[in-house]
Amino acid sequence: MTIPSSTPAQPDAPPTLFERLEPLLAKVSKPIQYVGGELNSVSKEWSDVDVRWCLMYPDAYEVGLPNQGVAILYEILNERDWILAERTYAVWADMEALMREHQVPQFTLDSHRPVRAFDVFGLSFATELGYTNMLNALDLADIPVHARDRREDDPIVLAGGHAAFNPEPIADFIDAAVLGDGEEITLKISEVIREWKVEGRPGGRDALLMRLAAGGNVYVPKFYDVDYLADGRIQRVAPNRSGVPFRIAKHTLMDLDAWPYPKKPLVPLAETVHERYSVEIFRGCTRGCRFCQAGMITRPVRERSIDTIGAMVQGGIEATGLEEVGLLSLSSADHSEIADVTKQLADRYEGTNVSLSLPSTRVDAFNIDLANELSRNGRRSGLTFAPEGGSDRMRKVINKMVDEDDLIRTVAAAYSNGWRQVKLYFMCGLPTETDEDVLAIADLARRVIATGRQASGKRDIRCTVSIGGFIPKPHTPFQWAAQLDHETTDVRLAKLRDAIRSDRQYGKAIGFRYHDGKPGVVEGLLSRGDRRVGKIIEAVWRDGGRFDGWSEHFSYERWMRCSEEALAGTGVDVSWYTTREREYSEVLPWDHLDSGLDRDWLWEDWQDALDEVEVEDCRWTPCFDCGVCPQLDTSIQIGPTGRSLLPIAAVTQGVTVS
């Protein structure tokens, strides 16, 4: 890193918008979500820094604030004395109306500065359903929604998060996208911006984007052209200038122990969806569930050591005052030292009000031991497992390697250890699925209750079956698969519901939760869409579409109406994007974006799925050549370290009379 000898001339600090905002706050619901000032929030002097980020999680404050990705970047950026990072979230309709009426632009919560004044406007997309909220935020910020219309002093609009692995549907609206882990790349981007500013912004905005693109880790959509075949498929995606790579690679953070973030996450005054301190105990997953985009795009597995986890939990509790601690990962029980981690943390916090949770998803008797360890004080209400597929056949297709007898044994162990409720997650609409596969869920639930009653000797145990619709995602073996249409999804789920309800012996002990299939169609359209889908997103937003992840705000009718208008003349429609199976030779909209996974390996895995052939986990068996490690020059980083946590002194109670 080069340190510039002189700092560039600073623009005047934009005035705070708070005085203009304050009168509006008395008129909106839950005004606290717009005032900031949370515990651990940071407010820096504008002129003290060289590079300024505005970070957005494009959903309501209550959903966005707990987001782990934004929390990490907020801390890492603000730790640098030459960078400031502030946050903004999607405003609700009542606030939006007042902001438009009183010409108050989209603002940050930390210092109530206008979003347009920042160098970078970075959005983290955990889901595609935040796209309309991005357009609304841009518009409220007085930033042109189309990248091509942006002026020299507009921020660089940058997308990240899992949805950014196929940013093509928002290619017209973003200036750039980054794939993968954000910790290092945001700092690298900051350095590039600082250099460019120090040099006097030579070549303007495009030259800056060019510098970012040339590094190979930042995708600038406008430097690439997409050509289409007469039948609507993509012919090719290629750079339209020299100096940018044909493929853009994801960024992978190695050595998570060196990056123990978030250390001091924000603690809001307002109520949010998660009120806990979360430690990511490892990143990545190689279980190889074929539907799971997160598992595919976050490889390889990189563990945090037991010492780092212990230190983060201790520091996080002190810094936040939270009492709930979540040990997060894609499959938490797979940590090489998970038994020691849970036991030693449970020892450390025994007798305090700190509670630990391990959102574990695998069906494995070992998980019951862990769950028992974490519930020593007797709170054994519910356990959740995700078999995902109802039949053994289905689970072979999706590579979720657990057979029915294993599952029943696990559940029996749970009930006999005093757990009263078991929740089971499944998907409907998986490739090759038939009615029988879905009805097998009912049989499974019946066996669970029968076994549970026997194991616990009680009748009042419950099993809840939750079902989500399967959506094929980019960079997975199912990226070529047809999504099931929502009519068939709904019919199958209705049959399953009837099968469960009509069961006199067990029906009342089985809860059934599902959503209708329509929102999944829109998510599918956005997940595997190409640049033509951008017109739909824009039309939906202009028609009033916001907060698409909220069922009370989502309008299927609007999405379909806008799709029909926006896709007129293209020869393709919504079902072309969703329920159509793709062939090997078809150029997929995200083929030029490199998640490290070898395309041929993905295809073979797709063929294996159709043949009901399973694939092992490379942590315990030889490498099966998914391609990630050699392609990205990374490797698996797992323990065990063999180290132990020392007991910590009880919380110092400096307020007592000794």
Q: How many CA atoms lie within 13 A of 536 on its CB side?
A: 28
Minimum distance, C-beta of residue 390 to other proteins, in the bound complex (Å)? 34
> By C-beta, is 32 or 210 nearer to other proteins?
32
Minimum distance, C-beta of residue 449 to other proteins, in the bound complex (Å)? 24
Task: In whole angstroms, give the CA distance from residue 145 to residue 137.
Answer: 9
> By C-beta, is 45 or 403 nearer to other proteins?
45
> By C-beta, is 271 or 405 nearer to other proteins?
271
Task: In whole angstroms, give the CA distance from residue 446 to residue 437.
Answer: 15
Minimum distance, C-beta of residue 352 to other proteins, in the bound complex (Å)? 10
- Given a contact cutoff of 8 angstroms between Cβ atoms, the answer to whether 500 and 507 are in contact is yes
Task: In whole angstroms, give the CA distance from residue 43 to residue 51.
Answer: 14
Q: At what angle do helices 182-198 and 204-214 cross, to 10 degrees?
A: 140
**The two three-digit tokens of residue 504, written as one number:** 């006199």
CA distances from 639 to 257, 619, 629, 643 (A): 12, 11, 18, 10
Reference 209, options 137, 149, 158; nearest CA is 158
Minimum distance, C-beta of residue 29 to other proteins, in the bound complex (Å)? 10
Minimum distance, C-beta of residue 37 to other proteins, in the bound complex (Å)? 5
> By C-beta, is 272 or 286 nearer to other proteins?
272
Minimum distance, C-beta of residue 64 to other proteins, in the bound complex (Å)? 17
Instruction: Annotate 585-626 with DSSP letters as a single string.
Output: TSBPTTTTEE-S--HHHHHHHHHHHHTT-----TTTS-----
Minimum distance, C-beta of residue 600 to other proteins, in the bound complex (Å)? 52
> By C-beta, is 20 or 643 nearer to other proteins?
20
Which residues, at least 6 apart from 157, have a Cβ–Cβ distance to it below 8 Å? Answer: 121, 123, 138, 143, 147, 150, 173, 174, 175, 176
Task: In whole angstroms, give the CA distance from residue 332 to residue 152.
Answer: 46
Q: Which uninterrupted H or E stretch holds 491? A: helix 486-501
- Given a contact cutoff of 8 angstroms between Cβ atoms, the answer to whether 106 and 141 are in contact is yes
> By C-beta, is 321 or 642 nearer to other proteins?
321
Minimum distance, C-beta of residue 655 to other proteins, in the bound complex (Å)? 4
Minimum distance, C-beta of residue 167 to other proteins, in the bound complex (Å)? 35
> By C-beta, is 352 or 454 nearer to other proteins?
352
> By C-beta, is 61 or 512 nearer to other proteins?
61
Minimum distance, C-beta of residue 41 to other proteins, in the bound complex (Å)? 8
> By C-beta, is 14 or 36 nearer to other proteins?
36
Only one residue has tokens 């009615």, namely 435
> By C-beta, is 420 or 495 nearer to other proteins?
420
Task: In whole angstroms, give the CA distance from residue 119 to residue 115.
Answer: 9
> By C-beta, is 241 or 379 nearer to other proteins?
379
Minimum distance, C-beta of residue 595 to other proteins, in the bound complex (Å)? 39
State the residues that interact with other proteins by CB under 8 A: 18, 23, 25-27, 30-32, 34-39, 267, 269-271, 275, 318, 320-323, 353, 379, 651-657
> By C-beta, is 352 or 635 nearer to other proteins?
352
Kindly give the residue spans of alpha helices, DSSP state H, lying in 65-203.
68-79, 93-101, 131-140, 182-198
Minimum distance, C-beta of residue 272 to other proteins, in the bound complex (Å)? 10
Residue 57 dihedral angles phi and psi, to the nearest 5°? -100, 115
> By C-beta, is 95 or 526 nearer to other proteins?
95
Secondary structure (H, E, C), 389-429: CCCHHHHHHCCCCCCHHHHHHHHHHHHHCCCCEEEEEEEEC
Task: In whole angstroms, give the CA distance from residue 428 to residue 447.
Answer: 20
Task: In whole angstroms, give the CA distance from residue 52 to residue 116.
Answer: 11
Q: Where are the beta strands (DSSP E) in 179-288?
A: 218-219, 224-228, 234-239, 248-249, 277-280, 282-283
Question: What amino acid is encoded at 151 in this protein?
Answer: R
Q: Is 221 exposed, middle or buried (0-12, 13-18, 19+ CB in 10 A)?
A: buried
Minimum distance, C-beta of residue 39 to other proteins, in the bound complex (Å)? 5
Task: In whole angstroms, give the CA distance from residue 306 to residue 148.
Answer: 48
Task: In whole angstroms, give the CA distance from residue 275 to residue 253.
Answer: 27
